[in-house]
């Protein structure tokens, strides 16, 4: 076998970078989240995995709402800052222009190309992390990020994260069509 076993410190590769928002102490607070995925089709449910006792969790648990915002590369520094500094130590409420949807307590980031408004569905404790499942009740973008009425990644300039090397990567090349390119092999 030519494969090298690099141990267990390998992660899902690469990971999305998001800014999760909640209302804490009457103000918006944001943290960076990369351990995030879709976990249910109908209703659409996303799952965040949070370790330790994040300040944002206080707002998620109080209001049972949160937002998931996907930042473009121009927000990389602010996103990283949200992941470096806790709202317990610094006020992150003024970092972004905030808007609200129907839930009123899930602050979304206006500068982000795509924002999901979520209602807490359930939580699940893991050995070191807690999973927060959120039902998506609204998704917001700007006209300039749409093609044929659908969000277009090629227009959004999003970025992804790799761990354990802790690098951000651009994500700007569309390759082929999913559910189509493999048809050749059928
Ligand atoms: C790129 C990036 C991704 C992160 N992803 C996660 C994550 O998925 N889960 C988590 O618990 N913390 C994650 N963090 C760490 C939190 O964002 C960080 O602890 C944050 O300061 C918590 O803020 P709060 O205490 O104001 O909620 C990440 C940090 C960075 C920089």
For the chain, give every domain's residue range. 15-185
pLDDT value for 158: 97
CA–CA distance, 176 with 15 (Å, rounded to integer): 20
pLDDT value for 172: 77
To the question of pTM greater than 0.75 for the whole model, the response is yes
Band of residue 170 on the pLDDT scale cut at 50, 70, 90 = very high
Using alpha carbons, select from 16, 17, 38, 19 the residue that is nearest to residue 98: 19
CA–CA distance, 161 with 163 (Å, rounded to integer): 7
Question: How many whole angstroms from 134 Cα to the centroid of ligand 1?
Answer: 17
Using alpha carbons, select from 26, 22, 123 the residue that is nearest to residue 66: 22
Q: Which residues line ligand 1 (CB under 6 A)?
A: 17, 29, 31-35, 49-51, 54-56, 80, 83-88, 161
**Which atom belonging to ligand 1 lies closest to the Cα atom of 92?**
26
The domain 15-185 belongs to what CATH superfamily? Electron Transport, Fmn-binding Protein; Chain A (2.30.110.10)
């Amino acid at each position: 076998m030519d494969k090298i076993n690099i141990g267990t410190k390998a992660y899902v590769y690469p990971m999305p970078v998001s800014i999760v928002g909640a209302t804490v102490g009457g103000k918006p607070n944001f943290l960076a989240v990369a351990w995030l995925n879709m976990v249910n089709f109908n209703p659409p449910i996303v799952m965040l995995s949070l370790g330790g006792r994040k300040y944002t969790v206080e707002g998620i648990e109080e209001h049972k709402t949160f937002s998931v915002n996907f930042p473009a590369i121009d927000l990389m520094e602010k996103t990283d800052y949200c992941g470096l500094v806790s709202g317990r130590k610094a006020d992150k409420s003024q970092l972004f222009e905030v808007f609200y949807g129907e839930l009123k307590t899930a602050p979304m980031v206006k500068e982000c190309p795509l924002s999901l408004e979520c209602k807490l569905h359930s939580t699940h404790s893991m050995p070191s992390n807690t999973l927060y499942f959120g039902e998506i009740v609204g998704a917001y973008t700007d006209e300039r990020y749409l093609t044929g009425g659908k969000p277009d990644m090629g227009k959004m300039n999003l970025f992804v994260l790799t761990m354990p090397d802790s690098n951000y990567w651009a994500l700007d090349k569309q390759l082929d069509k999913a559910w189509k390119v493999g048809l050749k092999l059928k």
